[in-house]
Structures are given as structure tokens and as C-alpha cells.
Structure 1
Amino acid sequence: MRHFSYFLRHALLAAGALFMATPFIVMLSTALKSQANIFSGSFSIIPEQWAASGNFGEVFTSLPIIQFMLNGALVTATIFCIQVLVAVPCAYALAKFDFKGRNILFNCVLWSLLIPPQAVAIPVFLELHSLGLLNSYSALILPWTISVLGIFLMRQFFMAIPDDIMDAARMDGMGEISILIRIMLPMAVPALTAFGILSFIAHWNDFFWPLICLQDVQYFTPPLGIAYFKTDDAGIKYGPLMAAACVITIPLLVVFLAARDKFIQGVSVQAGVK
């Protein structure tokens, strides 16, 4: 019975992994096919007519894909750095300071998680327009500098740290800022890594907001840039489009694999805190 349970558990995990990987397998398969093979009417994972060099070559010759990826890296890195500067002090105060209205403020954070960004897109757009910041890096960065998810995750992590550590630091003469920077932040690396990966994935893949606030190609992020393969005259070039999707997916895989252990550790800590 134990062996059957072991086998069943791993079979379900393998099936789930295959299900999650299927879109990426199809994406890569399509990127290797010619346009005629894609529209042949029969589906196969292995291409019948290979066109990998043509599809990937068109990505780098017809699009400034490197510029798009540099834009994406600049925007996501800047957003994350500012989010950390805002979220960490807020989370520390909500977790370790006992003040009137703390629970109300934390409930506001939880309620804010329920608001989709699309619901406030028009007011944010009008505000940026009035400030003359549309069609710029500022328009891509400013709406996301305060992350309620980051505040929530960091608060949950700080709640798991014993108060005795901070009391000992205060007895040694350390101020709250020193405690936060020199004690809390080094201990919060797993939580920051988990939040960083979530933030990077969300803003690297964001198509909705850049589509609204940008016009100049020089500011385009990767998802918006690869939309160039859809034209009114030629329709959708699925081969180059999927090849471009493969290219912009590589940084996501690299970042996740590089920080996988810290990410799992950070998520595990969040799950264990009530």
C-alpha cells in the first residue's frame, strides 16, 4: 500500500508537471516550424518542415529585441528596488510595532490585494497624462512602486522573527533603522527573493499597461515588442512570434533557476506563518 501511494503521488506530480509544461513545449515546437507546417491542418510536436533558423533569425533582424529586453530589465529592476524601499519599512512597522490602528491598516493591505490593476488603469492613466509622464520609463515604473503584495509577504516573514532578537539589539543601543538594515534585512533574504521573482515575472510579462501608456518603440517592453509580428496585411507570423516568445522566456527561466532554493525557502516560511 505504501509503494502504491508513493507511485500514485509521483504519477500525479508528473502529470501536473507535464500539464504545466505543455504550453512551453507547443511554443518551442511552433518556433521550429515553417508557416506552411503550422497551417498544414495536422498537429505534431516534431516539426515536419524545420524553420528554426529563419524564425529565430527574423526575431533579431526585424525587431530590436535586445532593446526590448534591456527595457524590460531596467523597468523590472527599478520597480523591484523601489518596492523594497517602500514595502520593507511598512512591513516592519506592521509586524513589530504596536500602535493604534495597526490592524485596520493591515486589513487595508489585504483589501487592496483584491483590487485588480485594470480597475484603476484609467485614473492612473489620466494622472500620468496630467503630469506629462506618459510614453516614458516613468509611466512604466511609477504605478507599481507601492506593492501591497510585497508589504503582505514581508510582514508575514517579519512576524516569524522572535521579538527577543530586536530587544537584544535595542539593549545594545541599536536604533530601529539599524535593526531593520543590519538584522532584519539579512534574515529576510528568502522572502525578498520570493517577492523579487514574483515581481519580476509580473512586470516582465505585463502587456496591458505598456500597451496603454507607450507609443514610442524605444520604450517597448518584450511582450509589447513581439506583438509586432501581428500585422493587418500579413496576419500573424506564428513561427517568428513563438520564437520571440522563447527568447523573452529565457531570462525568466534563468532568474528562477538561479534563485530557486531561496524562493522555495521564502514561500515555505510564508505558508507557515498565520
Structure 2
Amino acid sequence: MNRPHRFRPGQILSHVILLFLAFLFMFPFYVMIVTSVRSPAELFVPEFRWLPESFTGLQYYIQAVTDIPALTFLKNGVLISGGILIVQLLTAIPCAYALAKFEFRGRDLLFALVLFSLTVPIQAPALPLFLGLNAIGAIDTYFAAMVPFFLSVFAIFLFRQTFRTYPDEIIQAARLDGMSEWAILWTVVVPGCLPSVAAFSVFSVTAHWNDLYWPMVVIRSNDLMTPPLGLAFFADSESGANYGALMAMATILTAPLMIGFLLAQRHFIRGITMTGVK
């Protein structure tokens, strides 16, 4: 007969702490969603109400979509974040594979430069990048919004650490079978390291979807605005004190990230916890 599982005091305390932290992290999202369906009269009442007394339904959401091109901002976010991610994977994976599995002169120096580049923020080369893009007439384009991030040193570092733990025996067997290095990389090594690819994809898409600094520098037209830049424009120029519509807009622009993370969370957690392959 199975005995019921009893939680120890330490386990109970850890669960209480985790639930409290989860509440702290989720509370802003709850306020955002509830505010997007409150009536205007309830937005500035002195006491906090967990649920609105009267629902506005989809009024604010319709206003957010019709008054401001929210779908355009979403499309731009997908194109820019997705384009950056694809180029980052195409460039970082071969670089990381070479640093992890090839022996050549200067390899350690190159890896040291990769580590050094991790300390350089985007604000440091922003002015030269802007002047260069302006000289070729690329300001206010998708290319200008994406090009500074095409080469990710963080991706090179992450994939290099993952590829180093990949068994050399499998790679040698593939070479004996006549496979080229490109075929080995993309058909053997990368499929075996998908958790790391998924983990980096979450980091990359989240960072560039939420980036406000660089789009604010190079984007001018409303048709190319990313979600954070569009949200800032919506708050300053259109909504004024209409916080309900502003929260509805924030909910629309946040939803794709939340859905994407829920779909990839298992691979994401494996990617940041695994140090090798079985």
C-alpha cells in the first residue's frame, strides 16, 4: 500500500517562495490585461480592485487596432526579429563549429575576441553604424534595423560550448561515410543540439522584439515601426491619457512572445540546463 507523500518543511517553504515570486512576476501582466477591459471611470480610483466592476469588452482592443496599425507593428516585429534570428543562426553555427571542432592557428585568440566582444554594448558602435548606414542611404529600412545584430557573439559562445561536448566519434564516423563538413554540421550536429538552438532563439527573439533603442535611432516612418517603438508612438501621439487602449495595445504586442515561449519552453529549459548530449 502506497503511503501518501508528505512534504518536508523545507519543501513547503521553497514552494511558498516560488509561488510568491511567480505572483510578483505575473502581477504586472494581470494588471495590464485587467486594465485593458476596465471602464474609464475605474482607471483612477484610489483603491485597487482585482476585477473590473464593468467590462468594456473589446472596445479598447478595437480602438488599438483601428486607430493605430497594431497589425503592422506585429508584422514588422516578426520580420525584423525573425530575419535577425535566421542570419544569426546561419553565421554563428558555422563559426562555433569551427572554434569547437577544428584545430588551427589563432583559434584561442579568436575565441578570446569573441569573449571580449560580449562586453561591448550596442550603444558603443551606434554612431559609426548610423553614419555608415546614412552614407549608403539605408536609414529607415528593415536592413538598417537588422544589420547590427546579424553576427551574435553570444550565439557563437553558446553554440561553441555546446558543440565541444558533442561526441567526436559521431563526427568521425560521418566523415568516414563521405559526408562533407557542411553536411555533418547541418544534418548531424545541429539536430543533436536543438535545445541550445531553441534556447538561443528565445533569447534572440525576445531581445530584438523588445528592443527600443536601435529602432528609435534608424526608423522614421510609421510603416516600419517595431512593437516597442509603435507602442511608444501610440502612447505619446494618439492615446494621451487613454490607458485602457494603451494596455490593450501592450497586450496585443506581448501576446506573440508569451505564446512563443509557452510553445518552446521545454526545449528552452533543456537548452539552458544541458551541458552536453547523451
Count of residues in Structure 1 that have an aligned counterpart in Structure 2 = 272
Residue 13 of structure 1 corresponds to 18
Q: How many percent of aligned residue pairs carry the same amino acid?
A: 41
Contact 1:229 1:240 in 2 (8 A): no
Contact 2:159 2:196 in 1 (8 A): yes
Q: 1:61 to 1:161 in 2, by over 3 A?
A: same
Instruction: Indicate whether 1:43 and 2:48 are aligned.
Output: yes
Instruction: Indicate whether 1:200 and 2:205 are aligned.
Output: yes
The CA RMSD over aligned residues, in Å, is: 1.9
Residue 235 of structure 2 corresponds to 230
Q: 1:27 to 1:162 in 2, by over 3 A?
A: same
**Distance in 1 separating the partners of 2:264 and 2:157:** 21
**Distance in 1 separating the partners of 2:239 and 2:65:** 19
The SS at the match of 2:140 is coil
* 2:95 pairs with one of 87, 90, 93: 90
Contact 1:69 1:221 in 2 (8 A): yes
**Distance in 1 separating the partners of 2:64 and 2:151:** 34
Report the Cα offset of residue 233 of structure 1. Answer: 8.6
The SS at the match of 2:178 is coil
Q: 1:171 to 1:15 in 2, by over 3 A?
A: same
* 2:64 pairs with one of 59, 76, 83: 59
TM-score (norm 1): 0.93
Report the Cα offset of residue 42 of structure 1. Answer: 2.7
Residue type of the alignment partner of 1:87: A
Report the Cα offset of residue 2 of structure 1. Answer: 6.2
Residue 160 of structure 1 corresponds to 165
**Distance in 2 separating the partners of 1:44 and 1:108:** 53
TM-score (norm 2): 0.91
Deviations 1:132-191 (A, max 9, x none): 100011111111101111111111110111111112222222221121122111112111
Q: 1:233 to 1:264 in 2, by over 3 A?
A: closer
**Distance in 1 separating the partners of 2:233 and 2:239:** 11
Q: Which runs of 4+ in 1 moved over 4 A?
A: none
Residue 9 of structure 2 corresponds to 4
- Which stretches in structure 2 are left out of the alignment for 5+ residues? 1-5
**Distance in 2 separating the partners of 1:232 and 1:141:** 26
